[in-house]
């Protein structure tokens, strides 16, 4: 047995064999439909480059862009380079990556364009048995045309074909059901990958291990010990010229109905029988079936105004964005309270908060525990909280009471802190899209949305969305850079969340 260290090439070869088995040496073709768009240049191409650079893709993988614009591979390269984080030592590898790229121009609703695409795919090396992955980086309005043309003209003859669909998956229950029915008429369930990039976040994926890999949390993860659960998604910037796109959907469709509801499922679900994709997704669906449609009385909606004392974009309100329709009532902020009506969670409020142009960028899961019964410290103890910070600066910390150091006997709020950049100093966390696109190559659907999951998610929010759009009431105004409407804090307090404002995180001393 040789003790010689493996070369970089041998390490990557071993990794590929572990990921793909016998498929690591077969040809794969990744087709980006909508290759000229923002999503493609900012996320999809950079992600494919990082996976290629790190040797995580099958050895013979080719990349084909398709869009209406008449472009070249050089045009694609120029548009993507600012987002690809290329270093000097990567130049040769980058050339190898783009040498495996090609681009075609065509119409999404034109069968002859897809015939040409198929001819091009069939001309690539190893094409006869190549596996094909189609990424729909496109507006939902063209999904039906594109998916039909893929099925009619571009499916692999001998290898598998998989289709990745970006959110939004419809606008409400009816449109989502129509889209799901259309896709199901063309492809089997194991060919459809509905991607929600939040399911690729490190700390979101960590929730299952945190819950089901630690004995200490099991006995307290229920309504007997948890007072409320708060799921937060805050952005510190507004629409910044993209208000026309945002206005079609609003903050509930953009964030709450997908990102936050998916996280709610991971927090609330029962332990699955295994980590197989269907076992996990079965438990998520069971949670959603226990959630009643959101009541309008349990929701606060807001829309941001410019901050007269701010700088740059912060001076501008939502209506100051020229792409936003005049008089728009689309909310840019929402707080909603949901209840999971089952034995574990009955009566515990799940508070979902999300918004744009707020005071900070933050996404987190916060479990606030009930008060200690039989208080002996004169009401000086705060509630314990377990916080999983998704972004920025991934961390898990437990807020708890300890004795203040010194001669007195006073309780003080502090924390057990697992901040990833401190604990894992030399570990670079992969981007969410890296994990999820790699999962598609491997055929792992655990972190993708199943059709019955989607149906239940829309069932919960569709009545509220129709109510908002029917009433057309102006959302509560809040100032750019604030916490959002005060009414949202009042709602949280009303359902049982305690905010004392006394906790201050202290940066650990260097060792």
The set of catalytic residues is 259
Listing DSSP states for 183-227 in one string gives HHHHS-GGGEEEE-GGGGSHHHHHHHHHHHS-TTTGGGSSTTTEE
CA gap 455, 253 in Å, rounded: 14
CB atoms within 10 A of CB 378: 8
Alpha helices in 299-396 (DSSP H): none
Listing DSSP states for 263-326 in one string gives HHHHHHPPPPSSSSHHHHHHHHHHHHHTBPPPPGGGEEEEEEE--TT--GGGG--GGGSTTSPT
Radius of gyration for the alpha carbons in the chain, expressed in angstroms and rounded: 25
Sheet architecture: strand order including 192-195: 101-105, 61-67, 28-33, 131-136, 161-166, 192-195
- The two beta strands, 362-369 and 349-355, are unpaired
What's the CA angle centered on 189, arms 184 and 190, to 5 degrees? 145
């Amino acid at each position: 047995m040789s003790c010689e260290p493996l070369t970089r090439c041998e390490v990557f070869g071993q990794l590929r064999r572990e990921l793909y088995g016998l498929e690591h040496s077969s040809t794969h073709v990744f087709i980006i439909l909508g290759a000229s768009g923002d999503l493609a240049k900012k996320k999809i191409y950079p992600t494919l480059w990082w996976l290629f650079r790190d040797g995580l893709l099958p050895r013979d993988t080719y990349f084909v862009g398709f869009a209406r614009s008449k472009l070249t591979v050089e045009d694609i390269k120029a548009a993507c380079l600012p987002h690809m984080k290329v270093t000097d030592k990567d130049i040769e590898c980058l050339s190898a990556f783009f040498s495996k790229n090609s681009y075609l121009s065509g119409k999404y609703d034109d069968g002859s364009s897809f015939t040409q695409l198929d001819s091009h795919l069939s001309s690539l090396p190893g094409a006869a048995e190549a596996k094909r992955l189609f990424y729909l980086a496109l507006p939902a309005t063209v999904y039906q045309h594109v998916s039909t043309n893929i099925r009619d003209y571009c499916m692999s003859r001998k290898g598998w074909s998989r289709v990745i669909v970006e959110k939004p998956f419809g606008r409400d229950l009816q449109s989502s059901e129509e889209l799901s029915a259309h896709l199901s008429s063309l492809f089997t369930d194991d060919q459809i990958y509905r991607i929600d990039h939040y399911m690729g976040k490190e700390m979101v994926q960590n929730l299952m291990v945190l819950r089901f890999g630690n004995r200490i949390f099991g006995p307290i993860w229920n309504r007997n010990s948890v007072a409320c659960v708060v799921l937060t998604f805050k952005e510190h910037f507004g629409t910044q010229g993209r208000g026309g796109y945002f206005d079609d959907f609003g903050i509930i469709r953009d964030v709450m109905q997908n990102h936050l509801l998916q996280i709610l499922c991971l927090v609330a679900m029962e332990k699955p029988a295994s980590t197989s994709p269907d076992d996990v997704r079965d438990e998520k669906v069971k949670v959603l079936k226990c959630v009643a449609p959101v009541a309008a009385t349990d929701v606060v909606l807001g829309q941001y105004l410019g901050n007269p004392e701010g700088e740059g974009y912060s001076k501008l309100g939502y209506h100051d964005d020229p792409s936003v329709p005049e008089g728009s009532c689309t909310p840019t902020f929402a707080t909603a309270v949901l209840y999971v009506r089952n034995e574990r969670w009955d009566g515990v409020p799940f508070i979902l908060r999300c918004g744009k142009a707020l005071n900070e960028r933050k996404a987190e899961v916060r479990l606030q525990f009930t008060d200690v019964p039989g208080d002996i410290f004169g009401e000086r103890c705060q509630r314990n909280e377990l916080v999983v910070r998704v972004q920025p600066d991934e961390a898990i910390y437990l807020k708890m009471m300890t004795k203040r150091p010194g001669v007195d006997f006073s309780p003080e709020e502090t924390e057990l802190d697992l901040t990833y950049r401190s604990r894992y100093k030399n570990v670079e966390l992969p981007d969410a899209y890296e994990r999820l696109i790699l999962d598609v190559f491997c055929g792992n659907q655990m972190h993708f949305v199943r059709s019955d999951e989607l149906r239940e998610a829309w069932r919960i929010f569709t009545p509220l969305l129709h109510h908002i759009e029917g009433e057309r009431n102006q959302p509560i105004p809040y100032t750019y850079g604030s916490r959002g409407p005060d009414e949202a804090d009042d709602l949280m307090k009303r359902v049982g969340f305690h905010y004392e404002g006394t906790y201050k995180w202290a940066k650990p001393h260097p060792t």
